[in-house]
DNA sequence: ACAAAAGTGTTCGGAATACACCCATGT
DNA sequence: ACATGGGTGTATTCCGAACACTTTTGT
């Protein structure tokens, strides 16, 4: 990168950070990953994982990098959410935060175990502690986006293992949407998309009747997407 | 604002701009307002109106201010769209742009007439010239958002006069969505929301049979919104 | 045998779609 | 009188919602 650009400007500039709302699903409730801040400001408070955008990386790259550094998570669903820029949202000065949200599968990933000696913990979406900065607002926006998007994009599968049962899938939708769904109607609707592959396996973790396992047919979905198909639940 | 914050950081910072996709509707097609750049970089090229975020204003305020400065538009629908931050999107150096889109009514507002001697012009969405920076990408994202959102939020009315005919409303939806709609079905659906107030007026601009005028019942919509009502077309 | 969780069909009402003619007005 | 654009109704299909019992399996 050139140190001096041809038309560069001199003026005061804000700092730009990325903050990441990491959602996980434990089979019953939606969880959010929070970091206990080791430094001021808000030392000791819980906050979303995040950090400053470097000069030579895109914002998406910054979000991926911070997620990896703070939670060791890689190759997960990550999408830009909204940019928060009230002048006094950070006591350090003018800091604009580009918020992202991530969806991860708790069985495959254990961000807390791999965590770089930081205090990270999962909190149920219903029991979030007091958060640093405007992170409550960011979290609300992320949940709102997830609630809306799960109905018309197949992003719920990101929160489950590759193999899952229909009961698990329904529990996930109920937890995200915060409503109860009719079992028969849910199954009919999800199967009518013809995007679940029935496996020759039952879930050994079922404690009574063994539940049928399925996986999401991503290849078929991607193919249909090109033709303008819309996933709708 | 304090000059020195208690926990302030010293590190290189990107510039942050706002760029605004201004949509208008002329009764037939969707138009976009573009500014012919008077300065480098991309001098002489068409670009979205926009400019740098100041240190003491929120991003929303910056977008409102730039919109007013460059187009004299005030009190219009304005919503944050997405933040674009590829490291080389601006030859001046690291510039992150928070994009907004605005919906304006061309009858009430004439941004080009009130324009501060800048070269601004309306372009049909189908005939956009080559644009500066990554503004094509921003414009595509804005149109995509508008297409999606017009189906579940009553934002189309922002593009029409307060009083409008059903034919005008349908033309608007057809222009935004780029599809043809059935006249009888469209009218039934829109009237079933019970959010249009039939006025005791006919449109004098109709050249044959005088068309019935309506206005959008915003008060009723706001009241229903509080109860969780969703506008759906 | 029984308790617990998985799995399965049908009915009904309302919404979406497809479709063609009459009416008001200016020329 | 006619050409132009505004305005209207019905029949059919499809989808969402409501609803209860059987099957499998571990104890």
Domain ranges of chain A: 15-149, 162-226
Three-class SS state of A157: helix
Look up the protein residue whose alpha carbon has the minimum distance to the C1' of D4: B208
* Residue listed under structure tokens 């976009």: B32
Q: Return the number of other C-beta atoms located less than 10 Å from residue B161's C-beta.
A: 15
Q: How far apart are CA B60 and CA B230, in angstroms?
A: 25
Nucleotides of chain C touched by protein CB (<7 A): 3-10, 15-20, 23-26
Peptide bond into B41 cis (omega under 30): yes
Fold designation for A162-226: Arc Repressor Mutant, subunit A (1.10.10)
At residue B154, the pLDDT reads 97
Predicted confidence (pLDDT) at residue B10 exceeds the cutoff of 80: no
Calculate the angstrom distance between C1' of C19 and CA of B233.
21
Q: Do B85 and A58 touch (CB under 8 A)?
A: yes
pLDDT tens for B36-81 read 999 999 999 999 999 999 999 999 999 999 999 988 899 999 999 9
Work out the pLDDT band at B3, boundaries 50, 70, 90: very low
Fold designation for B163-226: Arc Repressor Mutant, subunit A (1.10.10)
**Which tokens sit at A116?**
């770089």
A14-18, A113-117, B212-216: segment of lowest average pLDDT: A113-117
At residue B175, the pLDDT reads 98
Calculate the angstrom distance between C1' of C6 and CA of A96.
49
Q: Which stretches within A57-165 are classed as H helix?
A: 59-71, 135-149
At residue A180, the pLDDT reads 97
- Please tell me the pTM assigned to this model: 0.95
CATH of B15-149, one of 3.90.79.10, 3.50.50.60, 3.30.420.300, 3.40.190.290: 3.90.79.10
Question: Taking residues B107-128, what's their average pLDDT?
Answer: 80
Predicted confidence (pLDDT) at residue A3 exceeds the cutoff of 50: no
Q: What one-character DSSP code corresponds to residue A91?
A: T
What is the phi/psi pair of residue A150, to 5°? -65, -20
Percent of residues, chain B, with pLDDT higher than 70: 94
pLDDT tens for A24-63 read 999 999 999 999 999 999 999 999 999 999 999 999 999 9
Nearest to A80 among B13, B55, B82 (CB): B82
Q: How far apart are CA B100 and CA B61, in angstroms?
A: 11
Q: How far apart are CA A228 and CA B11, in angstroms?
A: 45
At residue A10, the pLDDT reads 74
Predicted confidence (pLDDT) at residue A145 exceeds the cutoff of 50: yes
At residue A117, the pLDDT reads 47
């Amino acid at each position: 990168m050139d140190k001096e650009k041809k038309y560069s400007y001199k003026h005061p500039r804000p700092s730009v950070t990325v903050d990441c709302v990491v959602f996980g699903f434990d089979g019953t409730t939606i969880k959010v990953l929070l970091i206990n801040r080791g430094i001021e400001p808000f030392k000791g408070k819980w906050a979303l994982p995040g950090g400053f955008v470097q000069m030579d990386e895109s914002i998406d790259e910054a979000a991926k990098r911070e997620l990896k550094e703070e939670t060791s998570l890689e190759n997960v669903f990550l999408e830009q959410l909204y940019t928060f820029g009230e002048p006094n949202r950070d006591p350090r000065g003018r800091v604009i935060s580009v918020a992202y949200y991530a969806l991860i599968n708790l069985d495959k990933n254990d961000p807390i175990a791999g965590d770089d000696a930081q205090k990270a913990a999962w909190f149920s979406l219903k029991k979030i502690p007091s958060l640093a900065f405007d992170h409550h607002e960011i979290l609300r926006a992320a949940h709102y986006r997830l609630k809306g998007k799960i109905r018309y994009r197949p992003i719920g599968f990101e929160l489950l293992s590759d193999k899952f049962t229909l009961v698990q899938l329904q529990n996930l939708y109920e937890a995200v949407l915060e409503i109860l769904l009719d079992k028969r109607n849910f199954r009919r609707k999800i199967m009518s998309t013809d995007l679940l592959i029935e496996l020759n396996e039952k879930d050994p973790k079922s404690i009574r009747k063994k539940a049928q396992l399925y996986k999401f047919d991503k290849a078929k979905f991607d193919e249909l997407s090109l033709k303008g198909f819309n996933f709708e639940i």
